[in-house]
Amino acid sequence: MSFNIDTIRADFPILQREVNGKPLVYLDNAATSQKPQIVIDAIVDYYSNYNANIHRGVHALSQEATDKYEEARQKIQHHFNVGKAHEIIFTSGTTHGINLVAHGFSSLLNANDEVIVSALEHHSNIVPWQMLCEKTGAVLKVIPMTQEGALDMAAYNTLLSSKTKLVFVNQISNALGTINPIQDIIEAAHKVDAAVLIDGAQACAHIKSDLQALDVDFYVTSAHKMCGPTGVGVLYGKEKWLNKLPPYQGGGEMIAEVTFEKTTYADLPHKFEAGTPNICGGIAFGTAIDYLNKIGFHAIATYEHELLTYATAQLLQIEGLTIYGTSSDKTSVISFNLKGIHPYDVGTILDKLGIAVRTGHHCAQPIMNFYNIPGTVRASFAFYNTKEEVDLLVSGVRRAQQMLT
């Protein structure tokens, strides 16, 4: 499909609405993306026509729902070039996937083993590991960041040793947009036999990742960042690792046989999928992936890069505006502040103009501490945004500056 911005915008019903009497300018895509009609239709279709529990019934509706859910798993498998469908575990999202792996490693780590995180992480890729370290006595090491908001790879290489068991890093920082060199991170970790988990929550809407080529051990992401619904995501794990980890939650679906003396667990992927899942969410996630692939990730990345370059140049013309995260390798996220003005105040005025941005620490307080700031204003662009919307953002920021100084 050729990239036609008008056709694309027409796919998203929410983009037609007004906020505070102004056309909505949605620039909070790093928090969650908007949903095309085709994804909304997939949800309505499930509840209207074949709502039933899966993997359990012999009746037609249950079979239909099961087939569609498993079809979605295969779509996700092929999208991420994963070898086996049962290496894809449905979760409620990135946070769930990370907690599942962290829980599993509590039986594999010993005191004084080391695990490595980066300074650029979302809290959901920090806190579960801290809890793991408290439980096991393992030591958490941190890859430092540079002033530009990139990882200090030389420092990373000095942190790795035979004590390192696990490295967990995001592919793209949600707070700054930095694209991390995950291929190098994975290769270096494997040289010391450490496993690697990549948090793909911010990357999945911008980059199509080949998980076999990356040779990553675990990969987690959320559907809602890539035009799918909230409350569903996936964990990819290499089969050998998923077999090694204990189940995370007990319940229905994840068992082979239950007696009061002993329970045996189901095979992958069901071992990690206790309880009734988000069935329509999983199915609509598959639809979202089809939608994005139809547009094409190359076209998306090219267009978003143009928006990023244009918006960066325009915003930098505003006196007193500082952008945090200036690495040359970044996606369409601009985190900034106006001198002497709290980010929350800028966000509030932009909202009055119909412009949705995020303000605050973006669940990445260590990054804010590094820059010694309370937070930033974050504008994050998707492939359905336009240069005209960038212009509205820039004039809105100028207006906020005038009003607040």
Count the alpha carbons within 13 Å of 191 in the hemisphere toward its beta carbon: 10
Residue from 33, 124, 164, 385 that binds ligand PMP (CB under 6 A)?
124
Tell me the closest approach of the beta carbon of residue 55 to ligand PMP, in angstroms: 24
Q: Are the C-beta atoms of 278 and 65 separated by less than 8 Å?
A: no
Q: Report the interhelical angle of 94-105 vs 127-136 (nearest 10°).
A: 10
DSSP string, 243-283: HHSPPSS-STTSEEEE-SS-EEEPPTTGGG--S---HHHHH
User: In which residue are the tokens 């009609």 written?
Assistant: 37
Nearer to ligand PMP, 199 or 253 (CB): 199
Count interface residues toward ligand PMP (CB under 6 A). Answer: 13
Contacts of 48 (CB under 8 A, 6+ apart): none
User: What tokens were used for 153?
Assistant: 């790879």
In the set 133, 227, 280, 363, the catalytic residue is 363
Nearer to ligand PMP, 323 or 363 (CB): 363
DSSP string, 295-362: H-HHHHHHHHHHHHHHHHHHHHTSTTEEEE---SSB-SEEEEEETTS-HHHHHHHHHHTTEE-EEE-T
Tell me the closest approach of the beta carbon of residue 94 to ligand PMP, in angstroms: 4
Nearer to ligand PMP, 219 or 383 (CB): 219
Q: How far apart are the first and last CA of the chain?
A: 47
Site string for ligand PMP, 213-242 (x = CB under 6 A): ---------x--------------------
User: What tokens were used for 391?
Assistant: 């212009």
Q: Which helix (H) or strand (E) holds 173?
A: none
Site string for ligand PMP, 76-105 (x = CB under 6 A): -----------------xxx----------
Residue from 66, 99, 136, 170 that binds ligand PMP (CB under 6 A)?
170
Residue from 125, 287, 337, 376 that binds ligand PMP (CB under 6 A)?
125
Q: Does 367 bind ligand PMP (CB under 6 A)?
A: no
Q: Does 113 bind ligand PMP (CB under 6 A)?
A: no
Residue 164 is given by DSSP the state E
Nearer to ligand PMP, 20 or 249 (CB): 249
Subset of residues 195 to 214 that bind ligand PMP, contact rule: CB under 6 A? 199, 201-202
Tell me the closest approach of the beta carbon of residue 97 to ligand PMP, in angstroms: 8
- Residue 363 is among the residues annotated as catalytic for this protein: yes
Subset of residues 20 to 79 that bind ligand PMP, contact rule: CB under 6 A? none
Tell me the closest approach of the beta carbon of residue 274 to ligand PMP, in angstroms: 18
Cα–Cα dist 129/198, whole Å: 13
Q: Which residues bind ligand PMP (CB under 6 A)?
A: 93-95, 122, 124-125, 170, 174, 199, 201-202, 222, 363
Q: Which residues are catalytic?
A: 363
